[in-house]
Chain A
């Protein structure tokens, strides 16, 4: 125990890098998911084709390969070198954004047809329809899967130690090399990863609850914040967990 307490600052530095990668990657992924997801629902073929190409390409390439490409291949091809952390964030964001775009597209398409017909009857414009009717309902549907994707991105970020970024995994490796204590050195990082994941899961559940409240839907399992800590039934039918 003393071992970990003494070295806690180093672990926290690593954890901070992991958190930065996760938040940065999620921010980019969210924007990409929204843009390409909405494009995927437009009737004209061109935006739909662009969205499909984006999704298939960036979902198909492993995140690690993408990071290697960004860090090692891109400078050779273009002459510009991104900062390693930034390159990793871009690669993670592009990868997870492709999964997210599918979620956004599916959620928008799952909004009941009558809702869309009602907007037509009320003569709302496309942007009004999206902003006022479709997206708020789709949003509540997206959030549970987005929660999974946030955790997936956090986990995927662990590969960045392979390109020399000192994240939580790199700290475990360094500790082990410095002290020879493999077990304890790694357990420290494992625990921190677990805690970070729990915080993100909790945050996403808060968002989910808020989204459902705004739609006037009952919150299952009562009101208190503690209710959020209970595990929820896992929905796997969406098929986008990973």
Chain B
């Protein structure tokens, strides 16, 4: 059933496509990290913050795949599906990371804010030198989990025909009729990426928990 020669022949194409998944993960995650932090800070503004929170709640309770299809259909044709996919994944996960940052910011002791106030630090220094360094440090493991989660959501972009690994696997499968092989390989490829990253993350977690 499993023809090793055939697998080796097609593996390079799949690995190349897997790089697209990695690319989507990296850029999407970078958007999520920066946008999420911005949202977590802006959320503290009265009224506007509440509206923003409701919008994030909506993004978090509706599926990523329908969001991707929806945005893809509404964007002009010259924007590539890959870009749309990266942005949608980035914004979706920003809704999650914003909550993570928020819990970190709320975990900073009140005395720290008061001390910054007493020293009459400007707002930028209060955030940049006092609050955020403490807040972010605490939430690094939680943020790390979302990196793996982002990676596992990248095959959803098959819905908007991004040339990622599952899309390519489907093409290979329908051209060769070796459907079982090709999807099994994709499953293994995912494990090869996610299991080592999970182990790495656990080590990171332990390191930050120890400090």
Bound-state CA distance A55–B179 (Å) is 25
Q: Would A239 and B62 be within 8 Å (CB), given that A62-B152, A65-B183 are in contact?
A: no
Contact B66 A60 (CB under 8 A): no
Bound-state CA distance A156–B153 (Å) is 9
Name the contact of B66 in the complex, choosing from A186, A235, A239, A241 (C-beta under 8 A): A186
Report B150-167 residues with CB < 8 Å from chain A CB: 152-156, 158-159, 166
Q: Would A60 and B179 be within 8 Å (CB), given that A69-B187, A242-B96 are in contact?
A: no
Bound-state CA distance A155–B149 (Å) is 13
Bound-state CA distance A235–B195 (Å) is 24
Contact A65 B66 (CB under 8 A): no
Q: Would A155 and B63 be within 8 Å (CB), given that A186-B70, A233-B103, A241-B145 are in contact?
A: yes
Contact A65 B145 (CB under 8 A): no
Chain A's interface size range is 35 or more
Interface string of B59-71 (1 = CB under 8 A from A): 0111111100110
Main secondary structure of the interface of B (DSSP, over half): helix
Q: Would A241 and B96 be within 8 Å (CB), given that A194-B62, A234-B103 are in contact?
A: yes
Contact A68 B183 (CB under 8 A): yes
Report B29-61 residues with CB < 8 Å from chain A CB: 58, 60-61
Look across to chain A and name the residue whose beta carbon is closest to the beta carbon of B187.
A61
Select the stretch in A24-32, A71-79, A82-90, A209-217 that faces chain B: A71-79
Interface string of B100-128 (1 = CB under 8 A from A): 10110010000000000000000000000
Contact B166 A169 (CB under 8 A): no
Q: Is A141 engaged at the interface, CB distance under 8 Å to the other chain?
A: no
Look across to chain A and name the residue whose beta carbon is closest to the beta carbon of B93.
A242
What are 9 contact pairs spanning A and B, CB under 8 A?
A: A60-B198, A68-B170, A158-B66, A159-B63, A193-B62, A236-B100, A236-B103, A239-B142, A242-B145
Name the contact of A73 in the complex, choosing from B153, B156, B179, B205 (C-beta under 8 A): B179
Contact A56 B198 (CB under 8 A): yes
Measured between C-beta atoms, what is the minimum distance from B129 to chain A in Å?
Answer: 24
Bound-state CA distance A236–B143 (Å) is 9
Q: Is B175 engaged at the interface, CB distance under 8 Å to the other chain?
A: no
Bound-state CA distance A151–B60 (Å) is 9
Q: Which residues of A contact B183 (CB under 8 A)?
A: 65, 68-69, 72-73
Q: Is A119 engaged at the interface, CB distance under 8 Å to the other chain?
A: no
Contact A155 B152 (CB under 8 A): no
Q: Which residues of A contact B154 (CB under 8 A)?
A: 62
Bound-state CA distance A168–B149 (Å) is 23
Q: Is A198 engaged at the interface, CB distance under 8 Å to the other chain?
A: yes
Measured between C-beta atoms, what is the minimum distance from B123 to chain A in Å?
Answer: 25
Report B64-99 residues with CB < 8 Å from chain A CB: 64-66, 69-70, 73-74, 96, 99
